[in-house]
Amino acid sequence: MKAARVDWRYRLVITSRAMAAIAGGYALAAGFTAALSLVLALWMPRVEAVLTATMLAWLAYAMAAGWAFYARTAWGAWGGTLLPALAMGACAMAPQWMRGAP
């Protein structure tokens, strides 16, 4: 039986998806933690809010990593991880931006 040869484009796509899972998932988890901790701090002490948001961010990271390999294309993997990360980061930075507004 002849072994199947893996094309370099296939390896590039898998590498891109892995990077989307690692870097995009990390960015999403960081933005999720920041945004959720600000929301939870309204109802509980700040330390507990940050710890709760950090623990829930592991779920967001796992879902982002799963999405990176579930998406149809590598561009979809990057978009599916980075666009929500940007949205979460903007939500987390909104209080700072509003404070600086005249």
User: What residue segments make up the domains of the chain, in order of their start?
Assistant: 22-89
Give the whole-angstrom CA distance, residue 91 versus residue 35. 6
Question: Lowest-confidence range among 35-39, 66-70, 97-101?
Answer: 97-101
Q: What is the pLDDT, as a whole number, of residue 5?
A: 74
Measured over the CA atoms of residue 52, residue 54, residue 58 and residue 59, the dihedral's sign is positive
Asked whether residue 6 carries a pLDDT value surpassing 80, the answer given is no
Q: What is the pLDDT, as a whole number, of residue 7?
A: 87
Report how far Cα 17 is from the mean position of its chain's Cα atoms.
13
Name the region of 94 (left: φ>0; alpha: ψ -120 to 50; beta: rest).
alpha
| Residues 10-38 pLDDT 10s | 899 999 999 999 999 999 999 999 999 99
Which is nearest to 21 in space by CA: 62, 57, 65, 61? 65
- CA 10 → CA 6, 14, 61, 74, distances in Å? 7, 6, 24, 11
Name the average pLDDT for the chain: 91
| Residues 89-98 pLDDT 10s | 999 998 888 8
Q: Average of pLDDT values for 79-91?
A: 93
End-to-end CA distance of the chain: 73
Asked whether residue 1 carries a pLDDT value surpassing 70, the answer given is no
